[in-house]
Amino acid sequence: MGEGGDSSAPGSEQLRLQLGQEKQMKEMLELSIFELRNTITELEKRLSSVEDEGNEWKTRYETQVELNRQLERQTGLLQEKMEHIRGNPTDRLSSIRSFDQMPVSSLNQLLKQLEEEKRSLQNQLKDYELRLEQEVKTSATLKIAEKQKTDAVQFERENQILRRRHNVPENQRILDPKKGPIKKTAGVKQLPKLKH
């Protein structure tokens, strides 16, 4: 009879160990499910932000295509001007002769026109440089914002994992684990009045 009692004790101990292991497995599975749900939520958020970025990149692409068209037109016009100035390819001095034959007032007018074109092209160049700088800054800002988002999500995930491991409820702060969570009455919003 003593042996029968001894054999039941190890059996119950084994059942307790199995129960403890099952509880640990259950906690691990719950934690995994929680992490997977957070990952799904995070991926859905990224998907929506990627769609927004797609619109931004589409706009940038269209702007660049239009800019390329304008530059191609300008290149064609400049090539035509070069051919006109060159005149007859067999006569290298034809452009100089044409300027020699022009009156001074026409030459001054041509000079003003060329200076205006030069200023216009310089201004366009400055505009393109500014746009390029802004695009670089925007790209860098987007990268930084994305990094901050991923860091915040990672921090929140780690924080939730630690809370689960140590059985700390999310909505309650604990100063002293022995005393329990802070009571709502402990946070006094108004100080008592002083007696004079």
Q: Given the structure tokens 């969570």, which residue do they identify?
A: 181
CA distance 67 to 92: 35
Backbone angles phi and psi of 92, in degrees to 5: -65, -25
Is 87 within 8 Å of 94 (Cβ atoms)? yes
User: pLDDT of the chain along its 196 residues, tens only?
Assistant: 444 444 556 678 888 888 888 888 888 888 888 888 888 888 888 777 766 666 777 778 888 888 888 888 888 888 887 777 666 555 556 666 677 778 888 888 888 988 998 998 899 889 888 888 888 888 888 888 888 888 888 888 887 787 777 765 555 555 566 666 666 555 556 667 788 6
Cα atoms in the Cβ-side hemisphere of radius 13 Å centred on 187 = 8
* Backbone φ, ψ for residue 14 (5° rounding): -65, -40
As a whole number of angstroms, the distance between CA 170 and CA 74 comes to 64
Beta bridge partners of 176: 180
Q: Supply the pTM of this predicted model.
A: 0.35
DSSP of 100-124, one letter per residue?
HHS-HHHHHHHHHHHHHHHHHHHHH
Is 153 in contact with 42 (CB distance < 8 Å)?
A: yes
Task: Please report the pLDDT score of residue 50 as a whole number.
Answer: 67
